[in-house]
Structure 1
């Protein structure tokens, strides 16, 4: 990955967006968590968790390719909603006795970081 941008520099590619980079880290963090789930939980909760996390970085990337701010903001709103879905699934994962608490805690921390960067990106486009 390239070096993250400072907030005042325009991104030449979505790969340079810190929000996208953090969303990728979130998805990578969820791999071990979903692998630790029991098979039935992995099929239901794990699949939903990974789909929602993938949607965060995919919509951030897709929005960055749109021509106007309004379109990009629409895709970032979808990414934000997907991030909220990830957080909700993590609450559910934390309630599963066999689910390692440290992995849930790590995933929650990555989700918080993703949320901070996504919110900052949305704010920067709204002004």
Structure 2
């Protein structure tokens, strides 16, 4: 059973995504450091933070709510990275690894949310209802 958010594969993958986003925004022009770069970093930090906070909550329903927020922040990242590419703020070749990490996190989040919804339907209110090896 998962007893700590740091044991979750989805949390680890989202941390790697946040690092990749931070590395990407360093390449932005100076005039964007406080605009789109700040928005991207905020969204990137939000994903693992929401996963961690949801895991620490006392109900599966709360956990799912925080995972939903993480999913929203992930969509922000994907949108903002693509916008940065369209605006010519970053080399498109640098974007592919970030988007690949985002896709991986999205799939892991989807799997975790599905498993938690199943546990919720069974009446399990534990915030740690599933083994971490799958997510």
TM-score by length of 1: 0.89
Q: Which runs of 4+ in 1 moved over 2 A?
A: none
Q: 1:115 aligned to 2:73? A: no
Specify the SS of the correspondent of 1:124.
helix
Larger Rg: 2
8 A contact 1:20–1:61 mirrored in 2: yes
Tell me by how many angstroms 1:98 deviates.
4.4
Tell me by how many angstroms 1:88 deviates.
0.6
Structural mapping, 1:1-127, within 5 Å: 10-127=1-118
Runs of at least 5 residues in structure 1 that lack an aligned partner in the other structure: 1-9
Runs of at least 5 residues in structure 2 that lack an aligned partner in the other structure: 119-135
Aligned equivalent of 1:6:
none
| Aligned-residue RMSD, C-alpha | 0.9
1:22-65 superposed Cα distances (whole Å, 9 cap, x missing partner): 10000111122100000122211111001001100000000000
